[in-house]
Amino acid sequence: MESTTGAPTPTTYGVGARVSLHPMSDRYIEIILGALADAEPARDRLDARTGVVSTFVGGAEDDLLRYLSTLIGAAALRADGEHLAASVLLSRGCPGEVTCDLRSGPWASDASLATDATGVEAVAEWSLYPLLDADPSDGVAADHMIPIMAAIDQAKRAGLYDGSDHYVTRLRGDVADILTLVMTAWRGVGGAVQHVTSHLSFSINSPTQEQS
């Protein structure tokens, strides 16, 4: 067990992601294993563990961003025009596998996040969840929708906003730009709320890219 006293680290604070790749192709095993191998050098500073449904990676936000962008970009290149879906779940402030009794937050860096463009265009559905606890002794009113609305405004300013559907915001652009926006918003909310998660579903090379 790592100590959770003193200043948090990405590991003690539970900063990480789960990612899964879904190539809609008979070559899916080759595409997934190839992309994981391609992205291996970008994983050097992350904890990683592949599960049955998805792969966990834990570590600092800039390392997570570089890894996720490299991995999804590599899978898209290997899919070579075939349809690919990818799912990303981001979480912070709830370390461990069951409970999150850590009470050292909120804690978040405000350094800017950036990574190289992948050259891969995607459409993505995005949701952001600030998981507030209500403590009347704080005397502070908090509305979980305020940071969500601010994040949607960030998307519009970044030119990635493609529309709002039920329960999700639709983004469109380079995979790296979408990940940078979403991870910046997720970490930004983390400065005010300890436990924050975000889900992102990418669709790449879809035969139905037109607006519905």
Site for its own copies in 123-142 (CB under 8 A): 123-125, 127, 129-142
DSSP 8-state class, residue 78: H
* Cβ nearer to its own copies, comparing 37 with 116: 37
Any contact of residue 201 with its own copies (CB under 8 A)?
Answer: yes
* Cβ nearer to its own copies, comparing 30 with 111: 30
Q: How far is the CB of 167 from its own copies (least distance, A)?
A: 4
Q: Are 113 and 61 contacting, i.e. CB atoms less than 8 angstroms apart?
A: yes
* Cβ nearer to its own copies, comparing 60 with 89: 89
CA distance 184 to 151: 9
Of the candidate spans 2-10, 37-45, 70-78, 80-88, the one that interacts with its own copies by CB under 8 A turns out to be 80-88
Give the one residue of 88, 170, 183, 205 binding its own copies; rule: CB under 8 A.
170
* Cβ nearer to its own copies, comparing 6 with 207: 207
Number of residues that bind its own copies (CB under 8 A): 73
As a three-state string, the secondary structure of 22-77 is EECCCCHHHHHHHHHHHHHHHHCCCEEEECCCCEEEECCHHHHHHHHHHHHHHHHH
SS3 86: strand
Compute the radius of gyration of the chain from its Cα atoms. Answer: 17
Any contact of residue 36 with its own copies (CB under 8 A)?
Answer: no
| Range 139-168, binding its own copies (CB under 8 A) | 139-145, 149, 152, 164-168
Any contact of residue 28 with its own copies (CB under 8 A)?
Answer: yes
Q: Which of 143, 142, 163 is nearest to 152 (CA)?
A: 163
Q: How far is the CB of 101 from its own copies (least distance, A)?
A: 8
Any contact of residue 1 with its own copies (CB under 8 A)?
Answer: no
Q: Are 172 and 121 contacting, i.e. CB atoms less than 8 angstroms apart?
A: yes
Residue 135: what residue type?
D
